[in-house]
């Protein structure tokens, strides 16, 4: 018989900081990106793929109803074991 499985999750963390004009703003962080996909025994009948991403956005919220992106950073990855493809993007 055939089967299909899928799962999605999302997490959001928001912090609001008061930073004066010309004041230095910095922070340290660590992130881990681990992708796993089932080993494919028959690529004509099976398909396995995993995707993940971590995204940081620095926003100017002087006008809370219209925040502006000042800077951003992203790490994302794709794994397709059916085609033996694995990529990580910074």
Its sign, for the CA torsion 90, 32, 70, 28, is negative
Instruction: Name, of 49-53, 57-61, 78-82, 85-89, the range with top average pLDDT.
Output: 57-61
Residue from 51, 48, 46, 55 nearest 12 by CA? 55
In a domain, 67, yes or no: yes
Domain of residue 60: give its range: 51-89
- pLDDT tens column, 35-63: 777 777 777 777 777 888 888 888 888 88
Pairwise CA distance, residues 25 & 17, whole Å: 9
Q: Is the pLDDT of residue 15 over 80?
A: yes
In a domain, 11, yes or no: no
Per the structure, the count of domains in the chain is: 1
In a domain, 13, yes or no: no
Pick the more confident residue, 89 or 65: 65
In a domain, 42, yes or no: no
pTM of this structure: 0.58
In a domain, 71, yes or no: yes
In a domain, 72, yes or no: yes
In a domain, 57, yes or no: yes
Calculate the average pLDDT of the chain. 80
pLDDT at 68: 93
pLDDT at 65: 92
pLDDT at 87: 64
In a domain, 17, yes or no: no
């Amino acid at each position: 018989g055939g089967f299909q499985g899928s799962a999605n999750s999302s997490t959001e963390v928001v912090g609001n900081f008061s930073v004066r004009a010309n004041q230095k703003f910095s922070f340290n962080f660590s992130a881990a990106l681990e992708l796993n996909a089932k080993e494919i025994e028959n690529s004509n009948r099976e398909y396995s793929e995993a995707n993940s991403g971590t995204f940081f956005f620095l926003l100017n919220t002087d006008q809370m109803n219209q925040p502006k992106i000042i800077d951003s950073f992203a790490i994302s990855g794709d794994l397709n074991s059916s085609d033996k493809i694995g990529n990580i993007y910074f």
